[in-house]
C-alpha cells in the first residue's frame, strides 16, 4: 500500500475543500456525549463509510465509571420582560451549558447570574462549557451580551431531557491481511466547534474511505466516540481484544493553522511514535514531538497502565494553548481546507510507514556486494543517483535482521519512502530476504501472523 502516492495523484486541494464542506455540514448539530446529536452525526458519517453503531444502556458499568443518562435538547432561551429572546439556543448551541437539566422558571438577573458563563477577556465569544457528571443547568453567552442584561425578571427555559437512554458510538473496521490492528480514534461529543473536533472526524472519515480501497497489511479500526466515557466504554467492551492493537492514533484539532504536534504514547518508543516523528520531520515545515502525559484526549484511556496501548495523539495547535479553544471562535473560519488536506496527507504518510516497515537480512554480508554487475549502481527512479546509491548502501549495511527500514531511515537521515524503495529493489535482485518475527523482539517487531503479506 502506498497511500501517500495515491493521495498525491489526486487533487489534494479538492480533497481539502471536500473535507471542509463535510465539516460545515456537521457543524450546526448539537452534539454531546450521548443523545440524538451524536446519532445524527454518526448517521451522516455512515453515508460515507461503513459504520457499525453501538448503543450502550444508561447505567452500564464500565470499569470505575457508568454510562450516564442520555441528554437531548430541543430549545433553550432567556426571554426578557418584552418576550425577546436575549439568549437563544437557536442562534448557537453553545449558548446552553452542555448536559443542562431541564428548567422553566421566572427569575431576576441576580438569581440567574450564577448560571451564566462568559469569557471577559474575549467579550464577543461564547464559551463552551459542560456539566456531564454533576446535574446543573446554565447558559453560556458573550460577556458583552451579559453586560447588556438589565435586572429582569427573565423567563428562563431549557427544554431538555436527561433520562435513561443510551451512549452511542460508531466503529468502522477495515480488514487487512493481518488481524493485527491500527486504531484511529476521534471524539464526536462537541457541539458547534470546528477544530475540536470536527477536524478529527472529517479527516478520520476520509482516511477510512481512502484505506477501504487499498490492499491492507494491517486491519484498521476507526472509532467515533464521545470523549472519555466513550473510550472507557469501548475499552470495557473490548478488553479481551485490544491486544490486537499494534499501533494507534488519536486525531484531534488538525484543521487550524498551527504546526503539527505529535504526543507520544505512554511507552514512548512504540513504532507509531517513531513513524509519526519520522513523517513529521520529513513532511512538515514545523512540528514538535511531545512526551506522553496523562492529560489530554482519549490517549489517556488507551494508555492507562492496565492497557498501555501504543497509541499517540496527532494535533496541530495543542488544546488549551490557543484562545479560541472551547469557545465560539473555534468556528468554520478557524479551520481551512488546505490545513485539513495537509493533515490527511500526514496521516497517510504515517500509515504508509507502518504498512511498509519491515526487517530484512543482507544475503551477501561479507563486504559490499558488487552493485555494478547487478545494474544497481545507476539510477532507476526520480531521486538523484547519489541519494539512491546511498539508500541502497544503508539498507545493505543495516539489514542484519535487527534494524527495521524505519530504523535505517532514521539513522541515514533519508526519507522512509527512499529507503523502502531501495529495499524493494535489492530484494528483487536477490540481495535481501524478509525477516520474520523471531528476531523482531523490539517494540517495532512484526508478529508471525504478518508473514503472508511481506514475502
Ligand atoms: Zn474539547
Ligand 1 centroid from CA 297, angstroms:
8
For residues 68 and 114, the answer to whether their CB atoms sit within 8 Å is no
Ligand 1 centroid from CA 301, angstroms:
15
- In order along its 455 residues, the chain shows pLDDT tens digits of 788 888 888 889 999 999 999 999 999 999 999 999 999 999 999 999 999 999 999 999 999 999 999 999 999 999 999 999 999 999 999 999 999 999 999 999 999 999 999 999 999 999 999 999 999 999 999 999 999 999 989 999 999 999 999 999 999 999 999 999 999 999 999 999 999 999 999 999 999 999 998 999 999 999 999 999 999 999 999 999 999 999 999 999 999 999 999 999 999 999 999 999 999 999 988 999 999 999 999 999 999 999 999 999 999 999 999 999 999 999 999 999 999 999 999 999 999 999 999 999 999 999 999 998 998 887 666 666 789 999 999 999 999 999 999 999 999 999 999 999 999 999 999 999 999 864 333 334 444 333 333 33
Report the alpha-carbon distance of residue 131 to residue 95 in Å, rounded: 13
Ligand 1 centroid from CA 369, angstroms:
55
Which phi and psi angles does 196 have, rounded to 5°? -105, 90
Ligand 1 centroid from CA 156, angstroms:
27
For residues 269 and 308, the answer to whether their CB atoms sit within 8 Å is no
Ligand 1 centroid from CA 405, angstroms:
36
Report the alpha-carbon distance of residue 6 to residue 106 in Å, rounded: 60
Confidence (pTM)? 0.94
The cell for 28 is: 450546526
For residues 423 and 359, the answer to whether their CB atoms sit within 8 Å is no
The radius of gyration of the chain from alpha carbons, rounded to an integer in Å, stands at: 25
The H helix count followed by the E strand count for the chain is: 14, 19
Ligand 1 centroid from CA 227, angstroms:
8
Ligand 1 centroid from CA 425, angstroms:
46
Tell me the CA end-to-end span of the chain in Å, nearest whole number.
14
Handedness of CA 435, 438, 439, 442 (dihedral sign): positive
Ligand 1 centroid from CA 327, angstroms:
10
Ligand 1 centroid from CA 325, angstroms:
8
Ligand 1 centroid from CA 207, angstroms:
22
The cell for 244 is: 490486537
- Side-chain-side CA neighbours of residue 155 (13 Å): 11
Report the alpha-carbon distance of residue 199 to residue 412 in Å, rounded: 34
The cell for 333 is: 473560519
Report the alpha-carbon distance of residue 379 to residue 390 in Å, rounded: 11
Q: Is 75 helix (H, G, I), strand (E, B) or coil?
A: strand
Q: Provide the residues around ligand 1 (an ion) whose CB is within 5 A.
A: 196
Ligand 1 centroid from CA 336, angstroms:
19
User: What pLDDT does 452 receive?
Assistant: 34
Cis peptide before 318 (omega within 30 of 0): no
Ligand 1 centroid from CA 102, angstroms:
23
Ligand 1 centroid from CA 357, angstroms:
33
Ligand 1 centroid from CA 13, angstroms:
27
User: In the block, which residue shows the cell 442562534?
Assistant: 91
User: What pLDDT does 341 receive?
Assistant: 97
Q: Is 453 helix (H, G, I), strand (E, B) or coil?
A: helix
Q: Residue 172: CB partners within 8 Å, gap ≥ 6?
A: 49, 50, 51, 52, 208, 220, 221, 222, 224
Burial 201-210, CB ≥16 within 10 A → b, else e: bbbbbbbbeb
Ligand 1 centroid from CA 62, angstroms:
22
* DSSP codes joined into one string, 181-239: EEEEEEE---SS-IIIIIIHHHHHHHHHHHHTTS--SSEEEEEEE-TTHHHHHHHHHTT
Ligand 1 centroid from CA 159, angstroms:
24
User: What pLDDT does 437 receive?
Assistant: 67
Domains of the chain from N-terminus onward: 3-68+166-356 (3.40.630.10), 70-163 (3.50.30.90), 359-454 (1.10.10.10)
Going by their DSSP bridges, the two strands 85-88 and 70-79 should be labelled as antiparallel
User: What pLDDT does 454 receive?
Assistant: 36
The number of residues making up the chain comes to 455
Amino acid at each position: 500500500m502506498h497511500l501517500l502516492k495515491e493521495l498525491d495523484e489526486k487533487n489534494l486541494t479538492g480533497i481539502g475543500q471536500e473535507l471542509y464542506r463535510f465539516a460545515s455540514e456537521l457543524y450546526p448539530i448539537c452534539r454531546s456525549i450521548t443523545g440524538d446529536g451524536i446519532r445524527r452525526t454518526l448517521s451522516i458519517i455512515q453515508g460515507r463509510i461503513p459504520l457499525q453503531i453501538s448503543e450502550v444502556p444508561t447505567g452500564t458499568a464500565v470499569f470505575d465509571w457508568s454510562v450516564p443518562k442520555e441528554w437531548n435538547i430541543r430549545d433553550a432561551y432567556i426571554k426578557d420582560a418584552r418576550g425577546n429572546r436575549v439568549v437563544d439556543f437557536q442562534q448557537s448551541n453553545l449558548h446552553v451549558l452542555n448536559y443542562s437539566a431541564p428548567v422553566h422558571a421566572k427569575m431576576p438577573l441576580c438569581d440567574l447570574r450564577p448560571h451564566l458563563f462568559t469569557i471577559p477577556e474575549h467579550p464577543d465569544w461564547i464559551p463552551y462549557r459542560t456539566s456531564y457528571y454533576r446535574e446543573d443547568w446554565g447558559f453560556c453567552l458573550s460577556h458583552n451580551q451579559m453586560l447588556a442584561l438589565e435586572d429582569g425578571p427573565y423567563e428562563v427555559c431549557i427544554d431538555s431531557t436527561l433520562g435513561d437512554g443510551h451512549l452511542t458510538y460508531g466503529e468502522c473496521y477495515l480488514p487487512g491481511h493481518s488481524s493485527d490492528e491500527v486504531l484511529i480514534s476521534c471524539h464526536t461529543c462537541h457541539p458547534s466547534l470546528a477544530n475540536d473536533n470536527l477536524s478529527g472526524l472529517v479527516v478520520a472519515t476520509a482516511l477510512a474511505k481512502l484505506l477501504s480501497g487499498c490492499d491492507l497489511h494491517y486491519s484498521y479500526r476507526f472509532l467515533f466516540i464521545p470523549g472519555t466515557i466513550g473510550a472507557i466504554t469501548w475499552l470495557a467492551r473490548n478488553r479481551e481484544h485490544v491486544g490486537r492493537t499494534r499501533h494507534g492514533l488519536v486525531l484531534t484539532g488538525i484543521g487550524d493553522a498551527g504546526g503539527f504536534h505529535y504526543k507520544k504514547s505512554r511507552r514512548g518508543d512504540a513504532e507509531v511514535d517513531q513513524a509519526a516523528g519520522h513523517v513529521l520531520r520529513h513532511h512538515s515545515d514545523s512540528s514538535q514531538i511531545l512526551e506522553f502525559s496523562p492529560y489530554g484526549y482519549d490517549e489517556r484511556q488507551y494508555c492507562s497502565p492496565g492497557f498501555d496501548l501504543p497509541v499517540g495523539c496527532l494535533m496541530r495547535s495543542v488544546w488549551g494553548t490557543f484562545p479560541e479553544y472551547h469557545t465560539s471562535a473555534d468556528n468554520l473560519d478557524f479551520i481551512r481546507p488546505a490545513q485539513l488536506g495537509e493533515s490527511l496527507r500526514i496521516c497517510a504518510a504515517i500509515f504508509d510507514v507502518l504498512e511498509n516497515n519491515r526487517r530484512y537480512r543482507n544475503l551477501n554480508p561479507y563486504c559490499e556486494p558488487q552493485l555494478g554487475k547487478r545494474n544497481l549502481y545507476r539510477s532507476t527512479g526520480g531521486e538523484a543517483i547519489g541519494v539512491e546509491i546511498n539508500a541502497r548502501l544503508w539498507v545493505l549495511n543495516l539489514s542484519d535482521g535487527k534494524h527495521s527500514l524505519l530504523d535505517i531511515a532514521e539513522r541515514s537521515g533519508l526519507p522512509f519512502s527512499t529507503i523502502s524503495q531501495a529495499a524493494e529493489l535489492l530484494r528483487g535482485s536477490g540481495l535481501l530476504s524478509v525477516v520474520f518475527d523471531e528476531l523482531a523482539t523490539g517494540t517495532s517487531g512484526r508478529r508471525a501472523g504478518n508473514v503472508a503479506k511481506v514475502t
